[in-house]
Structure 1
């Protein structure tokens, strides 16, 4: 077991991105004992890496320096990041490169579909960089990727983690029409921190985006998540939960923010496992179908297992599942 940053620095060897150089350095807090991850490098990890490279794909696991890459890639769970590795925004928490992206790879949807088939995924997560340079924000590219996966692996359930499509009229409708099983868009932090942490986004626009998904197609599960430890206070998190429920969001994730480099927003606090458990208990009481709240929770971590539980929770709510099937699906792993 090694610390998050030591693991990722050795495994990914990511250079410092040029756009971060002019940011002032911020303090780095020592990580507590409960922030531990599995080191990359196992045979399963290597096999996943080989498939990703062979298809010329980008993963958010690498680009965002996810602490769970060792565990997930060992299980052949990779989150594909489409539309390139360069984002048009420069959020203070994110380790993805910022700049002017290149043209879309029109073969990418099929490349992703081929990789999904080779990995034998029952559930896949597809995300992207922000593409404010595109007229539709990349909505049609998302839709083409969903359709390609459906055609190649019809039994695979599909979860997408999209940008906010800010000022892209009609974009959301294009994606929803392709009928992903889960529509995820992360609000990332409480609204009071947006100007510092997520300055290119708008809190209520993102909230409305998820609410609109439900209006367009109530059968699609909606999901959103935040990071804590950025400087929020507890009551702000509880109010955000109420905002999420007002938008009919089904699944909420809460994870610890980890500072990628000294040029990123500092970690203001490490939230304890007990505090995460408290947030989970409260969120379930507020009516979410599914909650994942822990220091190492990330949007796509255990996404397949969580989707099975999410679907079972909806069936239980509607009274359409047998007690035996619910017990087996909802049992902790």
Structure 2
């Protein structure tokens, strides 16, 4: 496929300030993993400069190898049992009003990492009772008893990403499926916790397919949606088919909110946890 040139609106400048330096120091000192770094997020400078980071638990190696994701894949190390406490203490040191936690997939574990998730949520809430919490969870292979372990820990928002439209899902996701993700979202919604999801565009989808995904999400109880431009992490990853214009992103936002989402974050640099602190109002 012919290379698609990156447009001007996707070129960013990563500046640093004292808050950025403090955030990086805390992340490094506590040996934390962040999706900001492993996912090569284009908003790292902005978010770390405001003292926010998305913690990634369960290690830095994922058992899956999705064609859009830059996180390392392979055989993970054993879980670090001290990680929940370290993450909770880092949230305290960063003085976060709102924290976001995600994880790699741990298909190698009997409970797929669900108990570790629950322990991390509990630790954060105990150490930081005034901090609100969003969790971006994997699909736990659709096992309801494992998803329930996370919902029972009662984070304020639970996000699970669809990643893309139905047709493209099997082309870029190594294990997860479109319908399984919808089932995860449905179960979260039935627990009474606010549900959020995210998709990438620029993979070759049509606007009609994006709208169908919106309808599917709304039908299963999703209230918050993020839409961002897919950026190819390396040559071995799935290629970018197009760079969606800011005007089209604006149309997606308008369409989604008219359809019934409480809010839609839609823009070229939007990622799952971008401006997550604003979404707590829809809890």
TM-score (norm 2): 0.97
* Displacement over 3 Å in runs of 4+: none
Offset at residue 27 of structure 1 (A): 5.2
> Which residue in the other structure is 1:19 paired with?
none
User: Partner residue of 2:245?
Assistant: 272
Which residue pairs with 1:10 in the alignment? none
Residue in structure 2 matching 1:233, options 184, 192, 206? 206
Superimposed CA distance per residue, residues 95-147 of structure 1 (whole angstroms, 9 cap, x where no aligned partner): 00000101000000000000000000000000000111111111111111111
Query: Residue 273 of structure 2: which of 297, 300, 306 is its match?
Result: 300
1:189 is aligned to: 164
Displacement of 1:37? 2.4
Q: Secondary structure at the match of 2:141?
A: coil
User: 36, 42, 51: which one pairs with 1:61?
Assistant: 36
Q: Which of 241, 252, 264 is matched with 2:225 structurally?
A: 252
Matches of 1:170 and 1:118 in 2, distance apart?
Answer: 33
Residue 163 (1) aligns with residue 172 (2): no
8 A contact 2:58–2:104 mirrored in 1: yes
Aligned pair 1:130/2:105, yes or no? Answer: yes
Query: What residue ranges of structure 2 are gaps of 5+ in the alignment?
Result: none
Maintained 8 Å contact 2:142/2:184: no
Q: Please say which structure displays the higher CA radius of gyration.
A: 1
Offset at residue 223 of structure 1 (A)? 0.3
Q: How many residues align?
A: 283
* Distance in 1, Cα, partners of 2:24 & 2:86: 15
Cα distance between partner residues in 2 of 1:209 and 1:50 = 35
Name the residue aligned to 1:107: 82
TM-score, normalised relative to structure 1: 0.83
CA contact (8 A) 1:93 1:265 kept: yes
Give the unaligned 5+ runs of structure 1: 1-25, 312-333
Local SS of the residue matching 1:291: strand
DSSP 3-state at the match of 1:222: strand
Q: Are residue 121 (structure 1) and residue 96 (structure 2) matched?
A: yes
Whole-Å separation in 2 of the counterparts to 1:50 and 1:190: 38
Tell me the distance in 2 between the aligned counterparts of 1:167 and 1:80: 23
- 1:179 shift after superposition: 0.2
